[in-house]
């Protein structure tokens, strides 16, 4: 199994390929509306090359030791590292609460 986690790739998904509702909800303009505008503005300028991404997928999938997860591109890699640090921080900060959910005889875990 290979889980591919790509960053932004320069494809047509935010232009012709994107199906969007014609209905614009004014109350959502600062959130969903802003995301829509950003997606349209970035379309065609993404730093990820879909051909290189495909080659990386094939290379990892045919590797002797393929990864479970393959993160593609600088943005995806940076965001993944940030996510890991946030998870690590939560695990440390909430360790005692996490362990408290078990019966007492199982809580003595390092």
Task: Answer yes or no: are the C-beta atoms of 107 and 100 closer than 8 Å.
Answer: yes
Residue ranges of domains in the chain: 3-106
Per-residue pLDDT of the chain (110 residues; tens, 9 = 90+): 999 999 999 988 777 777 888 898 999 999 999 988 988 888 888 999 999 999 999 999 899 999 999 999 999 999 999 999 999 999 999 999 999 999 988 877 66
Count the residues in the chain: 110
As given in the structure block, the two tokens for residue 109 are: 């875990």
Q: Tell the CATH superfamily of the 3-106 domain.
A: NAD(P)-binding Rossmann-like Domain (3.40.50.720)
Q: What is the DSSP string of 42-106?
A: HTT--SB-HHHHHHHHHHHHTSSS--SEEEESHHHHHHHHHHHHHHHHHHHHTHHHHHTTS-GGG
Element (DSSP H or E) covering residue 36: helix 34-42
């Amino acid at each position: 199994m290979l889980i591919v986690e790509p960053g932004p790739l320069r494809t047509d998904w935010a232009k012709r390929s994107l199906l969007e509702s014609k209905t614009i909800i004014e109350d959502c303009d600062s959130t969903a509306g802003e995301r829509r505008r950003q997606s349209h503005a970035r379309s065609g300028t993404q730093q990820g090359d879909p051909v290189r991404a495909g080659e990386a997928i094939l290379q990892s999938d045919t590797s002797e030791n393929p990864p479970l997860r393959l993160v593609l591109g600088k943005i995806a890699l940076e965001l993944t590292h940030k996510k890991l640090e946030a998870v690590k921080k939560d695990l440390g900060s909430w360790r005692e609460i996490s362990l408290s959910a078990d019966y007492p005889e199982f809580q003595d875990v390092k």
